[in-house]
Structure 1
Amino acid sequence: MPLLSDTIGGLHFAAIDFESAGAARGETDQPVQIGIAACPRLEDEPELWTSYIAVEKPVLWSASQVHGITTEMLADAPSFPSLWPEIRSRLGQAVVVGHNPATERKFLRRFPGHGFGPWLDTLALGRMCVPGLADYSLSSLCGALGLTCSVEALLPARRWHDALYDALASLLIVRFLVKELNLSGQPLDVLGKAVRT
């Protein structure tokens, strides 16, 4: 597990995003898609992986309007537990990156004792390093940093609210800010409140 005292330039980073089925009040939400974009070192080419995830209840219309995933699209998708070995291999020993990753952390808690982390929140990182934006959504932050074209170039057939597209965007934000602010030789804890254990 990476330590807060480890040098940023020597760390493995893996950004994760989930899209969900949505849930009525009092019901448990479930993931419908996972995307992971990882780099053994930040300057390396991102390794990209994504999968749809089988659901036990139908995808809500309101959720489908956001990400475009329908219940029918998940008919042959693997179960969430069956994806565990792939998830573990991609997130293990990495600084795990997410944009306001409460949902990601919640879904991963279904695998007790996974021990992933520390976590780097690109929402908090954006607020710390790019003050004054009207909003800090993933698309707005990428737009402000001039990264949208880079995400599109690597994933031309995808869009915002696709789990892999959003995960890649988060990873590219970290890469850009580390390079621009010359943080590669600094310890991870220089990122302060953006890092959670």
Structure 2
Amino acid sequence: MREIVLDTETTGFDPETGDRIVEIGAVELVGHVPTGQTYHQYINPERAMPDEAFQVHGLGDDFLRDKPKFAQVGRAFLDFIGDAKLVIHNAAFDIKFLNAELKWMKLPQIPWEQAIDTLAIARRRFPGSPASLDALCRRFGIDNSSRTLHGALLDSEILAEVYLELIGGRQPDFALSQQAQVTSGESSQEWTPPARPTPLPARLTQKEAAAHAEFIGKLGDDPLWLKT
């Protein structure tokens, strides 16, 4: 199973009032294990970076000016995520921005059901407790000391660790799916057990076999199981 842990950084809170994406970071998981494949892109928002956004992300107008616009990277982004589940903290926010950008490019929208919201998972597991990414890092003992500013790739890497803890630890299925693989690399669906070299001995005694034969003899000459 392929999943993409995803984070975006934006100029504000609402794409309908002119806010845009300035950074996308994503980490690939296969079978809940990071593969080392990532996607990271800074994006020119085509507008001035508000002071409050600069304070959060540390991304200024001079830095973003020569970066590609979303229209130049949107297709490559969609190709990277494919139909994988998207693991996002507060998914509604990121999907809202991504779909706005994709709509302006006349590209396919990301279905809401493609997203896995770790914020919702955390609130179900720990009702009434803080559920921010920093709070979850503290709960699970995950080092986020390098998170002095919000960065999309760093946050997605940290979120990947948080997600694995939320669903039951780094081996949520206790590796049962991997144990089902045979040594040749074939899947468990393709594997069948070999025949025993020596058949097991009968467990019926001669007395039991004779009693069974006597019982069958009393059922007549036309038992149901012999009919075709």
- Report the TM-score, using the length of structure 2 for normalisation: 0.65
Q: For 1:68, which of 35, 38, 58 is the aligned residue?
A: 58
Q: How many residues align?
A: 168
Q: Match for residue 23 of structure 2?
A: 33
Higher RCO (CA < 8 A, seq sep 6+): 1
Q: Deviations over 1:49-85 (max 9, x none)?
A: 2111012110000111111111111021011021123
Sequence identity (%): 28
Runs of at least 5 residues in structure 2 that lack an aligned partner in the other structure: 175-228
Question: Against the structure 1 CA distance between its residues 160 and 166, is the aligned structure 2 distance closer, same or farther, given a 3 Å change threshold?
Answer: farther
Q: Match for residue 94 of structure 1?
A: 84
Q: Deviations over 1:8-36 (max 9, x none)?
A: xxx21101111112279x72211111111
Q: Match for residue 85 of structure 1?
A: 75
Counterpart mapping for 1:8-47 below 5 A: 11-22=1-12, 27-47=17-37
1:141 Cα shift? 0.9
Counterpart mapping for 1:131-142 below 5 A: 131-133=127-129, 135-142=130-137
Matching residue's letter, 1:138: L
Distance in 2 between residues matched to 1:43 and 1:181, nearest whole Å: 8
- Report the TM-score, using the length of structure 1 for normalisation: 0.74
Secondary structure of the 2:23 match is strand
Question: Against the structure 1 CA distance between its residues 85 and 27, is the aligned structure 2 distance closer, same or farther, given a 3 Å change threshold?
Answer: closer
**Cα root mean square deviation, aligned:** 2.6
Secondary structure of the 2:31 match is coil
Q: Match for residue 120 of structure 1?
A: 116
Kindly indicate whether residue 101 of structure 2 is the aligned counterpart of residue 106 of structure 1.
no
Matching residue's letter, 2:140: L
Q: Deviations over 1:147-191 (max 9, x none)?
A: 2x2x66xxx6x6451111112222222222334397538xxxxxx
Distance in 2 between residues matched to 1:20 and 1:67, nearest whole Å: 9
Q: Match for residue 130 of structure 1?
A: 126
Q: Is this contact kept in 1: 2:5–2:156, CA < 8 A? A: yes
Q: Radius of gyration: which is bigger? A: 2
Distance in 1 between residues matched to 2:127 and 2:110, nearest whole Å: 32
Runs of at least 5 residues in structure 1 that lack an aligned partner in the other structure: 1-10, 186-197
Secondary structure of the 2:40 match is strand
Q: Is this contact kept in 1: 2:32–2:171, CA < 8 A? A: no
Secondary structure of the 2:33 match is coil
